[in-house]
Structure 1
Amino acid sequence: MMAKRVISGLALLAAMFGPATAAMSAPIVMNETEAQTPALPPILNARERAATENRILAARLDTIIPAIMREQGIDVWLMVAREYFEEPVVASMLDAENMHARRRTILIFHDPGHGKPVERLTVSRYGLGGLFAPAWDPNKQPDQWQAAADLIAARDPAKIAINTSDLYQFADGMTLSQYEKFTGALPAALRSRIVSGEALAIRWLETRTPAEMEIYPSVLRTAHAVIAEAFSRAVITPGVTTAEQVQWWYRDRLLQLGLEPWFHPSVAIQRAGVKGMLEGAEVIQPGDLLWTDFGINYLRLNTDTQHLAYVLKPGERDAPAGLRQGLVNSNRVQDILRRQFAVGRSGNAALALARAEAVAAGLDPSIYTHPIGLHGHGAGPSIGFWDNQNADPRGSGVINANTAWSIELTTYAAVPEWGGQRVDFRSEENAFFDGKTVRFIDGRQTEITLIPSGQ
């Protein structure tokens, strides 16, 4: 049903912009195999991006909101944001032209029941791109809080959800000052009906729609193409280039492309005979195993990828077999973890099952997988942490269908060619869980990238 209601983004963009978006007519589709040297997809201009973001947001509001409010049995969901202090859920509901809340913006969803459409109201001076109907006339009621309270009281809801949560930052948007103002205006009989909107906030943020999954492969391909460029002789000159120079190259490259990272890129070196990771001003040398962690935010979707590269020594044609086997091991743990995804299973349970199977197979894993989507470290249950491989309160939530994940983990292995040195084979790839299977959005790294020494 959801897929039928979502208008094809490609058709809409073609109708609006004609030949300017012709490059989007052959979209990248989800696949299990990552291209070795992926080409950079066309980058949309500002107007095209806004059209795409607004189309997807409208579809999300039309489809997700009614589903999750009825799933959770909530009649009214109220959120508050102030200019430059937008809480995560409200920020995700602003259209592309409204970059911030105006003054104080109050959003109210009301489900009247009986199959009727959910009302989307804003108790503010502005209608937010036509996605929310303005429901406040300051000339009739100067007090904004009283206007919101009157609107809610007239609908007599059994449950009023506000975003408050001790566990999840995504669902803790209601500040103390705004809560006091709201409850002070609300009739006393309705105050006992206030409940936490934690589940609503998580479900809204974690759910991926067909329209989002239509563009996610291209977003991820963009990140993969930039990583491929970083791990090449176009950027790295062995014996000259430092790890931090590659980090800042990423930042400059994204500026050129009109894109943004959601965290500062990481680049580090593992080297035979040297313990741990080398970073910063360390010069990259032939024989080094390089690691990068890189993510972008584009069209409101985030990527998070970790790849490995090997700098060939003079005369070498491939990475040492022990290093290649290390990546194979990490790929095996990815597959083991993917098999543990099940609707209704907690993140902690998936972690325990995956670790048990991996250890039984003779592997040495550390799993720290997280949801991804509107945020890089997204809303939803975590599956392990690098510093905690046991059950964690943040992993107690259940896995749901139509969610995206950053399959992030590592395995450790002794590398014979490095004198038995214990090496860290970090891997991170983004995937989609449709409720039955976990598929990579734009493939995964299965072969270590090779960088010629040039000698």
Structure 2
Amino acid sequence: MRLLPLPVLLPALMVFSACATPGPRPSLPGGAPPERPFGTLQEQAQRQQAWLRERLEVALPHLMRQHRIEMWVVPMREYNEDPVFKALVSATTYAARRRTIYVFQDLGAQRGVSRVALGGGSQGGVYEVRRPTAKVDGGGVERVAEPWGPEQWQMLKQLLEERQPHSVAIDVSRVFAFADGLTHGEYEGLVEALGPEWAARLKPSGGLPVDVLAWRSADEERFFAEENKLAWDIIQTAFSNAVITPGTTHVQEVEWWMVQRLNELGLSTWFHPSVSVQRQGVGEAELGEDPLIQRGDVLHCDFGITALRLNTDTQHMGYVLREGETEVPEGLKQALARSNRLQDLVMEELRPGRTGNEVLRASLARMREEGIEGTVYSHPVGLHGHGAGSMVGLWDRQEGVPGNGDHKIIPSMWYSIELQASSPVAEWGGQKVRSAQEEDVIIGVDGQVRWAWKRQTAFHVVR
């Protein structure tokens, strides 16, 4: 049994003590409980509702016209939701109701996009809800029945007959998972109910669901800055003597401290954080899966926060001072500076209208011209950690990503600038050190790219 270092053990003891000794608790009406960085759950939901309304009223009409979509139909069943679901519903909706069919139709610049829900609710008034005319006895109260089974498909057919669209877009794609949300069973039910005439008008929605998921509002940008700052704060504490005692703390203890800290804040993550070590004269295999952190180690972490359905993705570097050292060795500083320079190159190439593969090629060409040894594997981030949008390389696909990397970047979306630069370090006898960094950026409505919070330019230091 491994004993936890005191800095890691104390938070757990404090939580146990609080539970063992009952005391006064803050009342909910008075505001958020202590250390709830983004307000009460109700306040968070209200903020998310404003984002939803803006996405559907401002972004959706523009994106439907950009992708030449007249009508978009999004059917899904409970617990088998389309990936675009979380971009279309309120914070208080966790799953599709039985079956939900969302129908969007562009009625022109003056009238905007009609939004109809066949099943489910109005999502705070952003959808017109249509239900059968038959009523049922709901415990002594007459209630309108919910659409169910074949009758629900017939409601869709009636709507199509009423609206007479020239084509109907559905989410089927062999390129994007985010645009392939129509399950095979739902597709069969749809085609069977609509009949051959309407089935002939079905077409793939293309990149529409991808961009609907990717698009972010101005207030989401403000929130994202706060969320990234919190990620920074947690990493800075994790890579400090508050959590790490050299020669005592293992990397997995740091990982679990980060997860526990999120839980204490009422937040979660979309992946388990990772902490790794590089050590002079020691290979990765020798270090093992859970090495003890020693003085002179270079640390790396990969960490993400999920809050209000939005995700961060951050990789930072740390260093554990040797006895007698007062600062990070110069060779390591230079290694970090090279990955910083590679970040500059990618950010300068990342702009709306280009594809991810175009950004990748341009960035790698400039990287080689400057003599940097590295790889670029950046990706969109937002409602998903590995978000909707064009990939800018994969760590093992530096030639580009066919299909996915050919999608165009849009304004008002976010990216994680993820990459690494490997540099020989003089103080380590020329041994290469991998400086892997990841920071989130915002592409504004004006197409300008900026850090969501800031970027790491100096090592976190454990003394």
Q: Same fold (TM over 0.5)?
A: yes
Q: Secondary structure at the match of 1:120?
A: strand
The one-letter code matched in structure 2 to 1:427 is Q
Which of 40, 43, 49 is equivalent to 2:44?
A: 49
Structure 2 residue aligned with 1:72: 67
- 2:284 & 2:407 partners in 1: Cα distance? 34
Structure 2 residue aligned with 1:419: 429
- 2:111 & 2:46 partners in 1: Cα distance? 28
The one-letter code matched in structure 2 to 1:63 is V
**CA shift at 1:74, angstroms?**
1.3
- 2:268 & 2:199 partners in 1: Cα distance? 42
Structure 1 residue aligned with 2:460: 449
**CA shift at 1:125, angstroms?**
4.8
- 1:430 & 1:342 partners in 2: Cα distance? 15
Q: Which runs of 5+ in 2 are unaligned?
A: 1-27, 136-146
Residue 125 and residue 303 in structure 1: after superposition, are their counterparts in 2 closer, same or farther (change >3 A)?
closer
Which of 393, 396, 403 is equivalent to 1:384?
A: 393
Structure 2 residue aligned with 1:365: 374
**CA shift at 1:103, angstroms?**
0.8
Q: Secondary structure at the match of 2:257?
A: helix
Deviates more, 1:130-139 or 1:98-107: 130-139
Structure 2 residue aligned with 1:103: 98
Structure 1 residue aligned with 2:140: none
TM-score normalised per structure 1 = 0.88
Deviates more, 1:410-419 or 1:339-348: 339-348
Which of 94, 100, 103 is equivalent to 2:89?
A: 94
- 1:171 & 1:362 partners in 2: Cα distance? 39
**CA shift at 1:19, angstroms?**
8.5
**CA shift at 1:114, angstroms?**
5.2
In percent, how many aligned pairs have the same letter? 39
Structure 2 residue aligned with 1:172: 180
- 1:153 & 1:247 partners in 2: Cα distance? 56
Q: Secondary structure at the match of 1:406?
A: strand
Q: Which runs of 5+ in 1 are unaligned?
A: 1-16, 24-39
**CA shift at 1:392, angstroms?**
1.7
- 2:97 & 2:313 partners in 1: Cα distance? 31
Task: Kindly indicate whether the alpha-carbon contact (under 8 Å) linking 2:99 and 2:120 is maintained by their aligned counterparts in 1.
Answer: no
In the alignment, does 2:418 pair up with 1:408? yes
Task: Kindly indicate whether the alpha-carbon contact (under 8 Å) linking 2:423 and 2:432 is maintained by their aligned counterparts in 1.
Answer: yes
Which of 352, 357, 363 is equivalent to 1:348?
A: 357
Residue 45 and residue 445 in structure 1: after superposition, are their counterparts in 2 closer, same or farther (change >3 A)?
same
How big is the alpha-carbon RMSD for the aligned residues of Structure 1 and Structure 2?
A: 1.9
The one-letter code matched in structure 1 to 2:211 is R
Which of 140, 149, 156 is equivalent to 1:148?
A: 156
- 1:305 & 1:241 partners in 2: Cα distance? 22
**Residues paired across the two proteins, number:** 419
Task: Kindly indicate whether the alpha-carbon contact (under 8 Å) linking 2:31 and 2:39 is maintained by their aligned counterparts in 1.
Answer: no
Structure 2 residue aligned with 1:328: 337
The one-letter code matched in structure 2 to 1:314 is E
Residue 169 and residue 68 in structure 1: after superposition, are their counterparts in 2 closer, same or farther (change >3 A)?
same
Task: Kindly indicate whether the alpha-carbon contact (under 8 Å) linking 1:269 and 1:279 is maintained by their aligned counterparts in 2.
Answer: no
The one-letter code matched in structure 2 to 1:136 is R
The one-letter code matched in structure 1 to 2:264 is Q
**CA shift at 1:241, angstroms?**
0.5
- 1:103 & 1:134 partners in 2: Cα distance? 15
**CA shift at 1:47, angstroms?**
1.1
**CA shift at 1:18, angstroms?**
11
**CA shift at 1:279, angstroms?**
5.5
Which of the pair has more CA radius of gyration? Answer: 2
In the alignment, does 2:442 pair up with 1:438? no
Which of 70, 75, 82 is equivalent to 2:77?
A: 82
Task: Kindly indicate whether the alpha-carbon contact (under 8 Å) linking 2:96 and 2:120 is maintained by their aligned counterparts in 1.
Answer: no
**CA shift at 1:358, angstroms?**
1.0
- 1:19 & 1:218 partners in 2: Cα distance? 22
Q: Secondary structure at the match of 1:261?
A: coil
In the alignment, does 2:134 pair up with 1:139? yes
Task: Kindly indicate whether the alpha-carbon contact (under 8 Å) linking 2:37 and 2:265 is maintained by their aligned counterparts in 1.
Answer: no
TM-score normalised per structure 2 = 0.87
